[in-house]
């Protein structure tokens, strides 16, 4: 089995100062993992090359271009859920180390003990992984048999056809193959996410005693990214937070006496029950309330009545409107300090669920004026990653996102927060127009909506992370508007125009609200629907629930999808 439990011995020490090619997927978790790994490599003088990859095609070309003379390839948040050997056709001596949070792990990767090593703990991956014997057969003779079957003209084949032993063998094989398909289908049916890559990398650093507060902060960002981008459910997130909290207190504990206090310019990380209001530290409280998915949907702020109710809520808490409408930094300190407890008091009256309003998280501070919380940094970073600047290529935005994670880079961070706000505003106005125009339609087994080409902020939504946020927001808002409980159990499929010239559409499927486990069955469903209709589609993304399709094929694809899901 290609699982590595002891990261240091079996991964880091093996590399031993040879040049490494690092391929990084496009998400904040991968970026954070990449930064941690680079730090370690820099400490130990391991030369490396970093190349960002946005999809399977990109991965293939990046590998072909950079593979010359490289013996070790590290893949961060990419490559785990498909057969890398088949896609990349590497030379025999090349070793792949894959640290990917995408699940399920492809069986070919999992059982390739020679060339592919998964940086995943076996017990984490192994739960539902099919047994080796169930998916692979070692006896080569069987292969020959099946190969000859079609070529009936061969005399030997003819003879054997009536041989009861061979018949029995073939029958066995057919049964086994059927079983194999079933098992594989069951295994690959749901796409979900495992442990954050950044956390894995941090643990490796920790085991090598090279962990610092900065690396810890990156690990926190990786875990936070998984949660706020709907990759892991709350329980899993909490278990990670627990683990991280040990590290945080280990790194940030100082005695009370004067001598051991650290300078303000050092990074300090503190645990905090964070209000789940989007970017409120960098916005005004009122704006933030209107743009936070859970609260905005609870109030239905897009309606007159909802607005009134929001005002009522603020008045009830005793917050003057003038105060909430100015920038958070300019707000009265007394209100700022008490806002959490004020909301906590009134929560029950307005029927909020505490776990959606408060999120156990961390914030980092250094110097006198820089205090950021993990969710804000993740939002800022992903908004840069998906920058809609026409001049900036994907790799440009990757590098600027990498810079945002450097903590000294305060100016860049401020700029990105502005971008994140723009993105959030675009999402909210799109949700509002969905609701106003009644564009969310129930197709029976699922809901669907399409963003019309030519809509104002359409370019934001051609990117995966932003589209996913929009989808979740839309579903939440739709559920809050609809009377019937049934809608909470329906998944949503959302489409957005990707490229007007090529006529392609990007489609994403997300699980229903009621399903807390956050695993999506759309990967397989999309694949099947596509096969049934021969739609021209591209399964390029590392996330299987995001696909690209030709706009003309959309309607027949959807008809098939309804069929598949029913």
Partner 1 sequence: MFCEKALDLIRELQRSRGASLPPFNEDTLRHVLEEMKALYEQNQQDVNDAVQGEAGLFSGVQIRHAALERNKRCILAYLQNRLKTTRDMRWEFGSVLPADVKYNLSEAEIQWFNKYNKSLANYMRSLGEDGGLDLTQDMKPPKTLYIEVRCKVDHGEFETQEGSIVLLKKNSQHFLLRSECEHLIRQGILEHIVH
Coil, strand or helix at 459: coil
CB of 48 to partner 1, least distance (A): 5
Identity of the residue, 42 or 452, whose beta carbon is nearer to partner 1 in the bound complex: 42
Nearest CB to partner 1, comparing residues 51 and 532: 51
User: Rounded to the nearest 10 degrees, what angle do helices 374-385 and 394-404 cross at?
Assistant: 160
What is the token pair recorded at 113?
């003990």
CB of residue 220 to partner 1, shortest distance in Å? 19
- Residue pair 67/73 in contact (Cβ under 8 Å)? The answer is yes
Sign of CA pseudo-dihedral 136, 137, 138, 140: negative
Question: What distance in Å separates the CA atoms of residue 452 and residue 321, rounded to the nearest whole number?
Answer: 36
C-alpha to C-alpha distance for 110 and 80, rounded to whole angstroms: 9
| Strand (E) or helix (H) holding 37 | helix 28-43
Residue 123 in 3-state DSSP? helix
Residue with smaller CB distance to partner 1, 52 or 222? 52
φ, ψ of residue 357 to 5 degrees: the values are -95, -35
CA 483 → CA 47, 204, 486, distances in Å? 59, 49, 9
Q: Minimum distance from CB of 41 to partner 1 (Å)?
A: 6
Is the CB of 399 or the CB of 562 nearer to partner 1? Answer: 399
Q: Are 506 and 546 in contact (CB under 8 A)?
A: yes
Judged by CB, which is closer to partner 1: 325, or 393? 393
- DSSP state letter for 58: H
- Give the tokens for residue 559: 């008809």
Q: H/E/C letters for each residue in 497-530?
A: EEECCCCEEEEEEECCCCCCCCCECHHHHHHHHH
User: Which residue number, 219 or 510, has a Cβ lying nearer to partner 1?
Assistant: 219
Site of interaction with partner 1 (CB under 8 A): 19, 38, 41-42, 45-52, 65-66, 68-70, 393, 395-396, 398-399, 402, 406, 408
- Rounded Cα distance between 381 and 256, Å, is 35
- Considering only CA atoms, which of 263, 237, 269 is closest in space to residue 250? 269
- Least distance (Å) between residue 8 CB and partner 1: 20
| Residue 19 vs 250, nearer CB to partner 1 | 19
Q: How far is the CB of 208 from partner 1 (least distance, A)?
A: 18
| Closest distance to partner 1 from the beta carbon of 35 (Å) | 10
CB of 52 to partner 1, least distance (A): 8
For residues 50 and 296, which CB has a smaller minimum distance to partner 1 in the complex?
50
Rounded CA separation 256/254 (Å) = 6
Cβ at position 398, least distance to partner 1 in Å: 7
51 vs 342, beta carbon nearer partner 1: 51
Q: Tally Cβ neighbours within 10 Å of residue 139.
A: 10
Min dist. Cβ of residue 395 to partner 1 (A): 4
């Amino acid at each position: 089995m290609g699982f590595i439990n002891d990261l240091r011995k079996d991964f880091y020490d093996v590399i031993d100062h040879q040049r490494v090619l690092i391929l990084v997927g496009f998400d904040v978790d991968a970026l954070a993992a990449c930064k941690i790994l680079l730090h370690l490599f820099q400490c130990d003088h391991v030369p490396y090359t970093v190349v960002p990859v946005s999809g399977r095609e990109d991965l293939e070309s990046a590998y072909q271009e950079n593979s010359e003379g490289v013996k070790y390839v590290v893949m961060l948040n990419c490559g785990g859920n498909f057969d890398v050997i088949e896609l990349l056709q590497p030379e025999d001596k090349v070793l792949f180390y894959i640290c990917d949070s995408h699940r399920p792990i492809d069986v070919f990767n999992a059982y390739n003990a020679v060339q592919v090593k998964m940086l995943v703990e076996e017990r984490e991956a192994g739960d539902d992984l099919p047994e080796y014997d169930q998916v692979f057969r070692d006896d080569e003779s069987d292969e020959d048999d099946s190969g000859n079957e079609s070529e009936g003209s061969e005399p030997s084949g003819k003879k054997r056809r009536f041989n009861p032993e061979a018949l029995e063998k073939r029958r066995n094989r057919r049964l086994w193959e059927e079983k194999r398909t079933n098992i594989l289908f069951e295994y690959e049916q749901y796409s979900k996410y495992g442990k954050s890559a950044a956390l894995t990398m941090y643990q490796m650093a920790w085991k090598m005693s090279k962990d610092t507060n900065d690396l810890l902060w990156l690990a926190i960002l990786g875990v936070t990214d998984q949660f706020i981008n709907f990759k892991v459910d709350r329980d899993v997130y909490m278990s990670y937070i627990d683990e991280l909290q040990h590290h945080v207190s280990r790194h940030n504990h100082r005695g009370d006496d004067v001598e051991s206090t650290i300078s303000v310019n050092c990074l300090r990380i503190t645990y905090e029950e964070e209000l789940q209001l989007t970017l409120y530290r960098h916005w005004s409280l009122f704006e933030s309330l209107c743009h936070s998915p859970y609260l905005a949907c609870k109030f239905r702020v897009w309606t007159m009545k909802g607005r009134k109710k929001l005002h009522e809520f603020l008045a009830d808490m005793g917050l003057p409107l003038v105060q909430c409408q100015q920038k958070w930094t300019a707000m009265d300190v007394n209100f700022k300090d008490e806002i959490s407890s004020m909301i906590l008091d009134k929560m029950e009256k307005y029927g909020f669920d505490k776990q959606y309003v408060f999120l156990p998280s961390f914030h980092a501070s250094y110097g006198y004026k820089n205090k950021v919380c993990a969710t804000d940094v993740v939002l800022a970073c992903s908004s840069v990653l998906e920058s809609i600047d026409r001049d900036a290529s994907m790799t440009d935005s990757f590098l600027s996102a990498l810079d945002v994670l450097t903590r000294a880079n305060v100016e860049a961070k401020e700029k990105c927060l502005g971008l994140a706000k723009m993105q959030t505003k675009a999402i909210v106005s799109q949700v509002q127009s969905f609701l106003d125009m009644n564009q969310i339609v129930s197709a029976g087994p699922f809901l669907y909506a399409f963003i019309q080409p030519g809509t104002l902020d359409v370019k934001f939504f051609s990117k995966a992370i932003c589209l996913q946020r929009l989808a979740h927001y839309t579903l939440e808002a739709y559920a809050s508007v609809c009377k019937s409980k049934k809608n909470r159990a329906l998944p949503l499929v959302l489409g957005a125009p990707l490229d007007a010239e090529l006529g392609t559409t990007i489609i994403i499927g997300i699980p229903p609200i009621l399903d807390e486990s956050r695993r999506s069955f759309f990967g397989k469903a999309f694949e099947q629907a596509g096969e049934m209709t021969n739609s021209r589609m591209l399964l390029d993304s590392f996330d299987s629930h995001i696909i690209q399709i030709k706009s003309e094929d959309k309607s027949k694809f959807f008809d098939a999808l309804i069929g598949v899901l029913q």
